[in-house]
Every structure is written in C-alpha cells, then in structure tokens.
Structure 1
Amino acid sequence: MTAAQLISFARGAPSLDIIDIAGLKAAAGRAFDADPAGVTAYGPATGYAPLRTWIAERYGVNEDQVLVTNGSLQADAFLFNHLVSPGDDVIVESPTYDRTLLSLKAMGAKVHQVTVDENGIDTDELRGLLESGLRPKLAHIIPNYQNPAGVTLTVERRAALITLAREYGFTIFEDDPYAEVRFRGEPLPTLLALDAAGDGEPVVVHASSFTKTVCPGVRVGYLIGAPKLIAAIAKTALNLYISPNMLAEATVYQFCVAGDLEKSIHGVRAALSERAAKLAEALRTHLPEATFTEPDGGYFLWVELGEDVDADAVFAAAAERGCAVVKGSDFYLDGGRHALRLAYSAVTVDQIDEGVRRLAEAVAAVRG
C-alpha cells in the first residue's frame, strides 16, 4: 500500500471482492436460456413478473402489492412524488440519509427531523410534535442499521410508531435495504408485518433492494404497499420509462431462485462483520477520544469526534491525506458539525487501520 492510494470510508457499497461475479454471470445466462423473449423485450411497468412473484412470496403479500423498480432510490422518489406536495410536512430521522433530505427539500416539503438514539427514532419526541399540532403526510424511517447512525429501531418503538401513524393519519415509509446484513442478534419484525397484523387500513409502505446483498450495478429495488397505491405508482412508472430493466430483474430472479442470494447474504455478512470490528478496533487505537457505537449490522459507523473538532475541516484534511469520509452535517438540516459517517463496506480489512491512522492525523491537524 502506498501513501497515494485513496482509502475510502465514503461510499456505502460492497467492494468487488465480496460480490458473487460468477454467480451473477451464471444467473444472466440462465435468464437468457429460460426466457429470451422476456429479457429482451419491454415488460410490465410493475417489473419482471417472476421476480415480482418471488418478492411477494418472500414477504407473504399479494403480487398486486409489489412494484419492482430501478433501485430503491427510485422507489423512494415514486412514493415521495405520489404522496408529498410542496408545503406538506414530512418527518425524517435526525440524522438521516442525505439523499432523502435533498429529495424532500427539492420537492418543497417542510422537513422535520426527530432525534435518533441507540434505540432508533425517539417516538416520545415524535408524539410531542404531533400533540403540538404537527400533521405530517409521511414519516421516512430506516429501521435496521440506520444510515448513517447504524442503530436499529426496537420492537417497542416500531409498535409505538404504527400506533402514532394510525392515530394521526400519516404514512410510514419503511426504507429497509440493510435488514439482511445482520452480524448479531435475531431479525426483528418489519413495520410492514406489524402493520398487517393490526386492524384498520395499512399505514406502512416498505422499500428495499438487492443493492446491499447482490450488488449496486443491478439497480433492482422494490416497493410493497396497498394495491391501490402500487397501481397508481405503476401508472407513473409506465409513463416515465414504459418498462424497467427486464434483463437486470430476470438476472436477479435467477440468482435468487438458485439459492445464490442466501449465499451472497452470508458472504456479505461475514465480510462486513469483520470489517466493522476492525474499524472499531482501529478507532479505539488511533482516535481513543472519539465516541461511537459498534453496529450490529449494516454498512455504516457513526463517530462523534468531540465539540472541539470541526468535521468539515476534518473532511478536507483527510482528503489531503488520501482518506475519504462523509461529514456529519450532510445528514442534518442543522447539526452534525462534529461527526463523521464511516462506511466499512468498500474497504478491505488490510486498508482499515491505515485509513483510520490517516483520519487521526487529519483530526490532530484540525485540533492543532
């Protein structure tokens, strides 16, 4: 490793060494062999039908509740555009995914951030806002290994959130691409499942993708919601692009039904668990004054550098030393000035200690 090599903790994407290239190549071949007409033609706006069925069966829902999209970010955009108008109030987590903030602000929504702690979004704080008169159209929630904080919403708070949505009449958007990347503990019920188990009209729309468990390049995500909602969004999809990428979706379908998805999930979990542990060890060694919670899954670790450290300045100083990070302020309407998000997914284990050493040098330079 030379000093000139960039070590990036910036991008939440799997490194090439943990992507099943051979499995994807074989799945693409099987897609052409099994359904040459389907993979080479326009398909339904709702997505490649066999994959749509597979997703529905995996979640225990009906096919008419599923829309397959070009990545989960497009699923986000479809739902935001369908439900949110300029001036509408929207709840997001604090901190939250930076692109969520950018999208909602560009739409003219009134965005309200609610504190995230070690148990996920603070539902007591949210209730206080609702009782004070706030009437949001939507609450955007990342329940598992949240981006950027890395925390998971507890079962108790999941139930409380659904209760609030029913009581005050807003939709919960469960943005859940990280749930399968679990290092420790047992899987928790989705908000979608908890909602379906209750009485009354559904209040949860669920989104996920194959980006974190297969690879980003396939660009296959999905929405799960009430049939009427999915049908309305499918009309928008039809007008936008006629058909999503049938070849990519058919490849993902073949990858899944062959059992390769489960093998891929196992490999991603093992690799990222090792990297997360190595990153935590390196932070304790090189930045002992920093505070963080070692995540139980996902792609990200959130680190607080201390009130005397300007993270924007660290961002620039780290870049000069060949270390890429994301500054905490990107994930807030106002805040995060002393924090960084570190992604451990795109770095190899042998890069992590050197990367954190460079980051520590940047922090020392800013302090100095």
Structure 2
Amino acid sequence: MTPEQLISFARGAPSIDIIDVEGLKAAAGRAFDADPVGVTAYGTSVGYLPLRKWIADKHGVTPEQVLITNGSLQADAFLFEHLVKPGDAVVVERPTYDRTLLNLRNLGAELHQVGLDPDGLNVDELRSLLESGVRPKLAHIIPNYQNPAGVTLSLAKRRTLLELAGEFGFTIFEDDPYADIRFRGEALPSMLSMDTDGRVVHASSFTKTVCPGVRVGYLVGAPETIGGIARTATNLYISPGQVSEGIVHQFCVSGDIDRSIQTVCDALGERERVLAAALREHIPAARFTEPDGGYFLWIDLPDDVEVDLVVPEATARGVAVVKGSDFLLEGGNHSLRLAYSAVTTDQIDEGVRRLADAIRAVAKQG
C-alpha cells in the first residue's frame, strides 16, 4: 500500500486551526508597546514579572512562590535536579510521560511505578509500597487527563495522596499542564490548593492552551524551593525568554486566553468523541477509558497483538502512533497512546481504519 498523507496520532500538540494566531500577533504588538524595555532586556531567573504575578493570582499564591521556565519540561527538570539525588526513591505513575522516566533515570533515581485506575493513581498500591519501607523523595503525579493514559485523579484520591505525603514525608509533584482542557465533567481543585502542609509543588504550561511555540511553563511551590531553583536557573541561562513571556502575559490579561481555551476544548472534545466511535467501529477488540479532557487516549489491544510489529505496519500505511512500552519501565507491549489534538475530525476515521488494517496485518503474520 502506498502511504498517503500522514495522519499522526503521535504528537500531543494542537493543530494550527485551533491556535489563535491573530490573537497572538496582536498580543505581541501590545507587549512591545506596553513594555519595550522589559521584553527586550535580560530579565531575572524567575521570569517576566508581570506574568509571574498573573500566575500567582491564578493560583492564589504570592509571586515569590512562582518561577517561570522555558516550557513545563524544564520546570520538571529543575525540580527533579533540586530534590532528587542518585539512589533516591521516586514514585511515578504506571504508565507515565516518557520524558519523566528519562529525566529521572538520568539522575540515578530508584523508580517505583504505581498503577492507574480509571479514577487515577491506585492509592492502595501506593500505601502498600510505602508500608513496605520505601521512602520516596517525591511522587510525580499528572492529575488531570493524564499523559499517556487520559485518566483523572478523583477528589477522594487527591485527599488520600495528600494524607500519605504528610504521613510518609514526601513531596507531591503535581504536573498539571492539561487542567484547563476539560470537555466533560466538573473541574476538580488542584492538590496545590488543598495543601495545608507545604507538600505540593505544582507545574503547568501555556503550551496546551496557547501554543507550543511560546515555550512558557512554570513552577509554583514554597518560597524556599522556588528560591533554590531560581539560583540554579540564574547560573544556567540568566533568564528565560522575556519576549514570549511578555506576549503570553498580554494574551492572558486581555482575556484571549479564555477564548483560546474554549476553542481548544470544543475542538478536542469533538475529536475525542469521533476517535472513540471510530475505535469501537474499526478496532472493537481495543479496550480504553474515554478521557474527560486533555490530549490523549490510551488503548489496550489483545495480548496476541505486539505493538512493536504494529507500529511499522501503521507507518507504512501513513499513520503515526506511539507504543505503550515507551511510557513504562516494563510492559506496554500491547498498548498504544493516541493523541487526538493534531488531527482534524475528517482525518480520524481514516486514521483508525489504517491502524485497524495494520493490526490485521500483524495478526496474519502470527
């Protein structure tokens, strides 16, 4: 079969049709008009100060608790480097973001993956791990529309996780870039907002709500934690990108951010529904939990379907997917992560048809 135009379920990025390009162009003009010195000069390592205050107000904290970074992945890396030493135990979800695993492995962390239920982290499994004597330095949690599994941590489990952090003395790293991309259900409070014990460090990003190219993420935590990371950041790059942060600030204070979020939510909600329907029609053996928001849907295929064989067959048919094994220390050989953010609705059914054809080709080989 000759590959047709690539249909990609691989990348968690919004398609250009749902990015407010005109709004960003206008915000750029306002940023240079309002603060030409601030956006063109070196800043400080904590980021563009007006945006820092806007983020602090959003989360109900003081600006001293906020540090802006070049994307949330850098925020993750800063916190990991600040807290984790070689040999330290770290709890992560099973499955979890592949770059989280990579960064923590590179630091020499002792990783413990705890399984996910349809309502988020299996807190009973976590308690058993803790009671066995494991004392993690931190637990990395993606609470809303988790990457890659798409599940959301329930309110009850958020409370339990905070209790366990207090009882066993670890930090919760609430990695939360998808929180605003909700198209079903009610918003849940962040663990940061529920924390009364200084146990939570929160990270988020404007990648999923504005556009990936701005590369603006941030950390919110205790002032001493943020201050320590800021000193490291100063030595690394003096300051993050002031121009992009100035543009994001103008985009936020104008209210354009709210319209952008609504556009993304509406589009992704429709795409997820179309994707789920196509999977039920063309790959009925696939098992999955529909997410209430975010960018990703995780599917489990029958045990005789090896995704190491499916992926090249899918590539040959012009459809890109990501293996489940990329998100696990072991296993995931029969699972795929599908991102529905960069595909338009008219591509989804055809993409799933091609994927189904690839799975059938693998079955014939067996």
Equivalent position amino acid for 2:175 in 1 = D
1:242-257 aligned within 5 A: 242-257=238-253
1:140 is displaced (CA, Å) by: 0.2
Question: Is 1:316 paired with 2:300?
Answer: no
- Secondary structure, in 3 states, of the residue corresponding to 1:91? strand
Counterpart of 2:339 (choices 336, 343, 349) is 343
Residue number in structure 2 paired with 1:172: 172
Equivalent position amino acid for 2:315 in 1 = A
Question: Is 1:276 paired with 2:276?
Answer: no
Q: Deviations 1:129-181 (Å, cap 9, x if unpaired)?
A: 10010000010000000000000000010000010111111000000000100
State how far apart, in whole Å, the 2-side matches of 1:97 and 1:261 are.
26
1:42-53 aligned within 5 A: 42-53=42-53
Equivalent position amino acid for 2:225 in 1 = L
State how far apart, in whole Å, the 2-side matches of 1:94 and 1:15 are.
28
State how far apart, in whole Å, the 1-side matches of 2:44 and 2:103 are.
27
TM-score by length of 2: 0.98
State how far apart, in whole Å, the 1-side matches of 2:290 and 2:222 are.
36
- Secondary structure, in 3 states, of the residue corresponding to 2:177? coil
- Secondary structure, in 3 states, of the residue corresponding to 1:333? coil
1:161-200 aligned within 5 A: 161-195=161-195, 198=196
CA contact (8 A) 2:3 2:316 kept: no
State how far apart, in whole Å, the 2-side matches of 1:3 and 1:111 are.
40
State how far apart, in whole Å, the 2-side matches of 1:208 and 1:117 are.
23
Residue number in structure 1 paired with 2:287: 291
Equivalent position amino acid for 1:174 in 2 = E
- Secondary structure, in 3 states, of the residue corresponding to 1:247? helix
- Secondary structure, in 3 states, of the residue corresponding to 2:201? strand
Question: Is 1:97 paired with 2:93?
Answer: no
Residue number in structure 1 paired with 2:138: 138
1:256 is displaced (CA, Å) by: 0.3
1:358 is displaced (CA, Å) by: 0.4
Equivalent position amino acid for 2:167 in 1 = E
1:294 is displaced (CA, Å) by: 1.4
Counterpart of 2:262 (choices 258, 266, 271) is 266
State how far apart, in whole Å, the 2-side matches of 1:131 and 1:12 are.
36
Equivalent position amino acid for 2:149 in 1 = A
Equivalent position amino acid for 1:351 in 2 = Q
Counterpart of 1:305 (choices 296, 301, 311) is 301
State how far apart, in whole Å, the 1-side matches of 2:122 and 2:13 are.
28
State how far apart, in whole Å, the 2-side matches of 1:57 and 1:226 are.
15
State how far apart, in whole Å, the 2-side matches of 1:147 and 1:85 are.
25
Residue number in structure 1 paired with 2:155: 155
Question: Is 1:334 paired with 2:330?
Answer: yes
Question: Is 1:121 paired with 2:121?
Answer: yes
1:268 is displaced (CA, Å) by: 0.1
Superposition CA RMSD, Å: 0.8
State how far apart, in whole Å, the 2-side matches of 1:295 and 1:284 are.
15
TM-score by length of 1: 0.98
1:3 is displaced (CA, Å) by: 4.6
Residue number in structure 2 paired with 1:221: 217
State how far apart, in whole Å, the 2-side matches of 1:127 and 1:52 are.
36
Moved >2 Å (runs of 4+):
none
1:328 is displaced (CA, Å) by: 0.3
Question: Is 1:110 paired with 2:110?
Answer: yes
1:293 is displaced (CA, Å) by: 1.3
CA contact (8 A) 2:150 2:298 kept: yes
1:357 is displaced (CA, Å) by: 0.4
1:4 is displaced (CA, Å) by: 2.0
- Secondary structure, in 3 states, of the residue corresponding to 1:222? strand
